[in-house]
Amino acid sequence: MSREKAELFQIAGRFDTEGEMISIEPHGNGHINDTFLLTCHEASKEKLRYILQRMNHEVFKDPEGLMENIVGVTTFLQKKITEHGGDPKREALNVIAAKEGGAFCRLEDGTFWRMYRFVEDADSYDVVERPEDFYESAVAFGHFQKLLSDYPAESLHETIPNFHNTIDRLDKFKKAAEADPLKRAGEVEEEIRFVLDREADCRVLCDLLASGEIPLRVTHNDTKLNNIMLDHKTRKGICVIDLDTVMPGSALYDYGDSIRFGANTGAEDEQDLSKISCDLELFALYTKGFVEGCEGSLTKKEIELLPMGAKLMTLECGMRFLTDHLEGDHYFKIHRPNHNLDRCRTQFCMVKDMEDKWEQMQAVVKAYV
């Protein structure tokens, strides 16, 4: 959405910022929300910076519930960080209140806007430039779990209903394969069979959560490297950002999704499947960092199930790509014919490689039980 600077300044002026507004520019490369960096100047300080965002209420249909989640979680995090002697202004997101009250503004055109304090002297990275960064992201996401381990997860809104409900994902996949609106099912019989052969896997985490055998936790649900701010000096992860998908779920969702993309030796849409495998060294490195970051807050059962979390999140993602391919590519953007099918195949290749390395993955995890 294109906005003139004068209008952006006007929107920013509806929030409780400090100092005189000097500049506002587009920031980052996110695909969901419109993000801008606001710079202010105050006599007693060199500069103050804020993040202004237009929330995408077409993707997140309950902006009020979403912001209630974020305010609840960030306030809780700030308290915990302060108790541990940390810096709550750098180690957690800080929501800037709207002058009219509340945590966001709704404009006359129906758009929703929010503001955060900018995390200074830190950056996020889109790709893993070195293994240490992957490890640091694991520690940071694990620490996120630790700090929120006693947060009432059941009080959170589901900002995307059934996001990691693999039983529901499987049901939608089956319906897409049966309806076959574009007559593509005949060309992907092998991929369809791959999912159906693993139907029982899709129930594992959902059933364990339902029975209480693993605890319901606060989950981030988008555990990419670029959702961690790494300190300029130490290169350590200091702050987890992008909390739009914070919901109740399992810690295995966050861990598994990180392994799914971070330990893959190839690109998500790689057409040469010989390049796709699960890098066991990266798997071990992330597992070490995540368990260390959790600081004993995971149960024995959760740790034992870490390989299943990795496999299931990869299978789920592949199933989503295949469902979208069968339905006509209306959810994930494609840039070539069969793009979602290529993505699906890389995920399934990764799943098969995990199955082939299952005993080795279990051996890595066993050290932490």
Q: What is the DSSP string of 169-201?
A: HHHHHHHHHHH-TTS-GGGGHHHHHHHHTTGGG
Mind listing the domains of the chain with CATH numbers?
5-120 (3.30.200.20), 131-366 (3.90.1200.10)
Which tokens is 245 given?
């998908």
DSSP bridge pairs for 326: none
- Taking the whole predicted model, whether its pTM rises above 0.75 is answered as yes
Handedness of CA 234, 29, 334, 192 (dihedral sign): positive
Q: What string of pLDDT tens digits covers the 369 residues of the chain?
A: 456 899 999 999 999 999 999 999 999 877 679 999 999 998 777 789 999 999 999 889 999 999 999 999 999 999 999 999 999 999 999 999 999 999 999 999 999 999 999 999 999 988 777 899 999 999 999 999 999 999 999 999 999 999 999 999 999 999 999 999 999 999 999 999 999 999 999 999 999 999 999 999 999 999 988 999 999 999 999 999 999 999 999 999 999 999 998 999 999 999 999 999 999 999 999 999 999 999 999 999 999 999 999 999 999 999 999 999 999 999 888 999 999 999 999 999 999 999 999 999 999 999 987
Give the whole-angstrom CA distance, residue 117 versus residue 21.
14
Nearest to 306 by CA among 263, 366, 252: 252
